[in-house]
Chains A and B, each alone.
Chain A
């Protein structure tokens, strides 16, 4: 569904990712692991078109690498970005409404809002509250729900568990598992390798802008390389 080939990502003159290739198949959950600064977020930014990149980004057979950010989102890519980036000056409901900005049918939009509110009762309770007043975990759920409001074909999740209490982390991973069983295609960026590998069908391990290992979750989970990269013990 999403194919990346020889992707180089740049931040100004700095090259953060040095030619990686990966593949996300329809209905699968693919995990992108790696330590701080490995280039995971840069890769996500290149897929959405936020960061400048060279190489191939093909989505459903179409080359997106020349398309604008907006066009890529319209093609069916949605992202829950690193740091959540909810609109804290808007209410919870307004955040969701913006998530469905491309949905023209008001009835469908209302249906989706109700659906996600029923799945996240805590958000429903705070629908008219400023999103900035939510707790970290609630904000993360809002960020994911906002992305899902777009009814994406693929969901990019950048470190959804970052900085959250273990109980909340479990909730978030349960949610991702639930999305997966509903057939959602997911690219999951995580530092929490243990949890991510439980969910993922296939995983890539990044370090210093390169993919240093990849394989099924089982294979990679057993590999020494993973632990070495993530703990910094070679």
Chain B
């Protein structure tokens, strides 16, 4: 029983991380048609912010966490301004290349000005201890991660349904020009999408850092790769799809970890991607493709 609950929580916390990052990718994609490959570097910015706090001997975990999230949001907003705004009207390939370029530039900045080697960050270890709920031992970090993600998803849902700007973000995924024709400034819609994306990356960063305890220039690469897969599985550009894809991917990954024999342990990802491929054969546009969501007749 304990083992099952532990593995379910394991799957939920994996899924939560992917869902946070996938949502960040999806919200930008939905309005810009752009896969933001620099998303991983936003996570790294959060990580390096923690390093900066440590070197300033600021250990207050509240300050470290809030600071990292704010830094990620600021970085995301800055990218929108300096890199993506100029190519907003360009064709999608240009946007994609810009995102790749930004990603490479940022990684090299980290390499040059910080360090190519991992830097330890210990200020978040306190998040991870063993707790006991109803006689079952659980990792607190996983509980926090799952709960935080659920709260964030609910908050995001409320924002997207209850505020004019939130409605505009949803509408912009369908017809950005028409949103402008209601008088809402396009720049505000882009800014809020990148802010939310940065916020989600910053939150994910806290949990990634608490688990890994160190940051290097490639910190965000693997998580964002997984989030990208989650988006594809869920239906690219669909926000519910991103959440569904994230949790599904977490579940499949943990199921593989649990079920594969020791000898195949190193092949988990291969099996995970095989299952992803099978899902995509069944639903080539992802499970909740945006077209379905918008009520288009397919």
**Contact (Cβ within 8 A) A89 B173:** yes
Asked whether, in the complex, the Cβ of A81 is within 8 Å of the Cβ of B178, the reply is yes
Q: Offer 13 A-B interface pairs, CB within 8 angstroms, sorted by A.
A: A50-B181, A69-B186, A70-B186, A73-B180, A79-B181, A87-B174, A89-B171, A89-B294, A99-B182, A101-B164, A101-B182, A102-B184, A150-B183
- Bound Cα distance from A79 to B180, whole angstroms: 11
Assembled-state Cα–Cα distance A81/B182 (Å): 11
Type the 1/0 row for A88-110, where 1 means its CB is closer than 8 Å to any CB of B.
Answer: 11100010011101100000000
**Does A98 contact B175, Cβ atoms closer than 8 Å?**
no
B185 within 8 A of A: yes
B177 interfacial contact with A, CB 8 Å: yes
Least CB distance, B181 to chain A, in whole angstroms: 6
Shortest Cβ distance from residue B174 to the other chain A in the assembled complex, whole angstroms: 5
With an 8 A cutoff between CB atoms, is A132 at the interface?
A: yes
Tell me the residues in window 172-224 of chain B with beta carbons closer than 8 Å to chain A beta carbons: 173-175, 177-186
Report which of A68, A70, A88, A97 forms a contact with B295, defined as CB distance below 8 A.
A88
Task: Name the A residues within 8 Å of B175 (CB-CB).
Answer: 85, 87
Q: Closest CB of chain B to A216's CB: distance in Å?
A: 31
Smallest distance from the beta carbon of B46 to chain A beta carbons, Å? Answer: 31
B132 within 8 A of A: no
Q: Which residues of the partner chain A approach B164 to less than 8 Å between Cβ atoms?
A: 97-98, 101
Residue from A130, A132, A146, A150 whose CB has the most chain B CB atoms within 10 Å: A132
* Contact in complex: B182, A150 (CB < 8 Å): yes
Partner of B181, one of A73, A89, A133: A73
Tell me the complex Cα distance, A74–B181, Å: 10
Taking CB atoms, residues of chain A closer than 8 Å to B167 are 90, 94, 97-98
4 more A-B residue pairs beyond the given contacts A50-B181, A85-B175, A89-B173, with a C-beta to C-beta distance below 8 A: A70-B184, A74-B183, A98-B164, A150-B182
Chain A interface size, under 10 / 10 to 19 / 20 to 34 / 35 or more: 20 to 34
Which residue on A lies nearest to B184, using beta carbons?
Answer: A101
Q: A89-B295, A97-B164, A132-B294 are in contact. Are A102 and B181 (CB under 8 A)?
A: no
B293 at the interface (CB under 8 A from A): yes
Question: Which residues in B have some Cβ–Cβ distance to A below 8 Å?
Answer: 161, 164, 167-168, 170-171, 173-175, 177-186, 293-296
Q: Interface residues, chain A, CB within 8 Å of chain B? A: 48, 50, 68-70, 73-74, 79, 81, 85, 87-90, 94, 97-99, 101-102, 130, 132-133, 146, 150
Cβ-defined partner of B178 (8 Å) among A85, A94, A97: A85
Whether B177 and A98, one on each chain, are in contact in the complex, defined by CB atoms closer than 8 angstroms, is no
Q: Which residues of A contact B186 (CB under 8 A)?
A: 69-70
Most buried by B among A87, A99, A132, A133: A87
Contacts of A102 in B (CB 8 A): 182-184
Q: Which of A50, A89, A130, A146 contacts B182 (CB 8 A)?
A: A146
Q: Chain B contacts of A85 at CB under 8 A?
A: 175, 178
Taking the closest CB of chain A, its distance from the CB of B184, in whole angstroms, is: 5
B178 touches A73 (CB 8 A): no
Q: Which of A98, A130, A150 has a CB less than 8 Å from the CB of B171? A: A98
| Complex contact B295–A133 (CB within 8 A) | yes
- A101 near B181: Cβ-Cβ < 8 Å: no
